[in-house]
Amino acid sequence: MEITLEKIELVKDRTGVTYAEAKEALEETDGSVVDAIIAIEETVNAGKKERGFGDKGQALFTSLKDLIKKGNVARIQVKREDDMILNVPLNAGILGICIAPLASIVAVVAAFGFKCKIEVIKTDGTIIDVSDTVSDTVSTAFEKGSDIAEKAKEKSAEFYEKGKAVSNEYTEKLKESEYYGKAKDAADDLKEKADDLMDKAKDAADDLKEKADDLKDKAKDAADDLMDKAKDKAEEAEEAAEEAVEEAEEAVEEVGEYVEEEVKDEE
Q: Residue 207: in which H helix or E strand, if any? A: helix 178-266
* Higher local confidence (pLDDT), 118 or 172: 118
Instruction: Indicate whether 97 pLDDT > 50.
Output: no
* Higher local confidence (pLDDT), 49 or 240: 240
* Higher local confidence (pLDDT), 18 or 92: 18
Least confident of 27-31, 53-57, 107-111, 233-237: 53-57
Q: What is the pLDDT of residue 175?
A: 63
Least confident of 26-30, 49-53, 157-161: 49-53
Instruction: Indicate whether 133 pLDDT > 80.
Output: no
**Residue ranges of the alpha helices (H) in 80-177?**
102-111, 131-176
> Mean pLDDT across the stretch 204-216?
88
Whether 134 and 114 have beta carbons less than 8 Å apart is answered as yes
Q: What is the pLDDT of residue 137?
A: 46
Whether 49 and 21 have beta carbons less than 8 Å apart is answered as no
Q: What is the pLDDT of residue 98?
A: 46
> Mean pLDDT across the stretch 38-63?
65
Q: Listing from the earlier edge strand, what are the strands of the sheet with 83-89?
A: 83-89, 73-80, 117-122, 127-129
Q: How many beta carbons lie within 10 A of that of residue 127, not counting itself?
A: 9
pLDDT classification of 146: cutoffs 50, 70, 90: very low
What letter would DSSP give residue 80? Answer: E
Whether 40 and 49 have beta carbons less than 8 Å apart is answered as no
* Higher local confidence (pLDDT), 173 or 230: 230
Instruction: Indicate whether 230 pLDDT > 50.
Output: yes
pLDDT classification of 139: cutoffs 50, 70, 90: very low
Q: What whole-number distance in Å separates Cα of residue 19 and Cα of residue 27?
A: 12
Least confident of 49-53, 158-162, 255-259: 49-53
Please give the single-letter amino acid code of residue 178.
Answer: E
